[in-house]
Amino acid sequence: SCLELGEAYSPTPAPLLAAMLAAFAAAPLLAGHAPQGRASPPASSALPSPKWSPRGYAAAAPALSRGLQASVALLVGAAVLAPTSRLARRRGGPARSPLFGRGARLQRVARRSAEADVERWVGENKVVVFSKTWCPFCQTAKEALSAAGADFIAVELDEREDGDEIQDVLGERTGARTVPRVFVGGTCIG
């Protein structure tokens, strides 16, 4: 439901939070151990530290079951990235997804592609304008080049999926990520 004007914002709706707290209270506190007639949880010294550790939440609370770890994480706002595997517990670290590291490889591939595109455009054309369609300075630069009769190509970064990568390449090559970036004869003039 939408908040009415003047209502306080709560990141977790009160009924959901109450249900989560009830489920947490009813769950066994330690993995494989059911509460034995206790009305309250054991003393705080018997519970694992709630602090996050560099090896992940599961390493900070190894005695808690995975389901309970997720519940606790949800309640305290921590992020559980992956459930802990047996192998990871033996190694003392969190489990890793088989996709771990692929994002960085894809970024490197996109980066190389952007570098190659910039080199090709600048090498094959006398005048290249790296621009954004909404930028008034870019529009002025393109109008000035047109008025001067220059034969140029305009690469509209905001219309390309790899626009950010191209802008990063331009930033390293010219010292600035701002647009327009105008190349004449392979040299950036501004």
Looking at the domain assignment, is residue 157 inside a domain? yes
Tens of pLDDT along 101-144? 555 555 565 667 899 999 999 999 999 999 999 999 999 999 99
116 and 173 in a common domain: yes
What is the CA 87 to chain-centroid distance, rounded?
27
Domain boundary among 59, 91, 123: 91
**What's the CA dihedral at 178, 184, 188, 189 to 10 degrees?**
-80
Q: Could you tell me if 83 and 161 lie in one domain?
A: no
pLDDT at position 134, please?
A: 97
Number of structural domains found in the chain:
2
Residue 4 lies in a domain: no
Examine residue 7 and state whether it is found in any structural domain, yes or no: no
Same domain, 27 and 87: yes
Say which amino acid occupies 138.
C
d(CA 190, CA 187): 9
Residue ranges for the chain with pLDDT beneath 70: 1-111
Indicate if 70 and 114 belong to the same structural domain: no
Same domain, 144 and 81: no
Task: Write out the two tokens for 102.
Answer: 């692929």
Nearest Cα neighbor of 122 from 177, 176, 168, 186 is 186
Whether residues 37 and 115 share a domain: the answer is no
Residue 173 pLDDT: 92
* pLDDT recorded at residue 10: 41
Cα→Cα distances 66→38, 43, 83, 172, Å: 22, 21, 7, 45
The predicted pLDDT at position 93 comes to: 54
120: domain CATH number?
Answer: 3.40.30.10
List Cβ neighbours of 183 (8 Å cut-off, separation of 6 or more): 122, 127, 128, 129, 130, 189
Q: Kindly write down the DSSP assignment for every residue of 108-171, as one continuous string.
A: HHHHHHHHHHHHHHHHH-SEEEEE-TT-HHHHHHHHHHHHTT--EEEEEGGGSTTHHHHHHHHH
| Same domain, yes or no: 77 and 127 | no
Q: What is the torsional sign of CA 92, 93, 97, 98?
A: negative
Look up residue 44 and give its DSSP letter: G
Please give the residue range of the domain that contains residue 46.
14-91
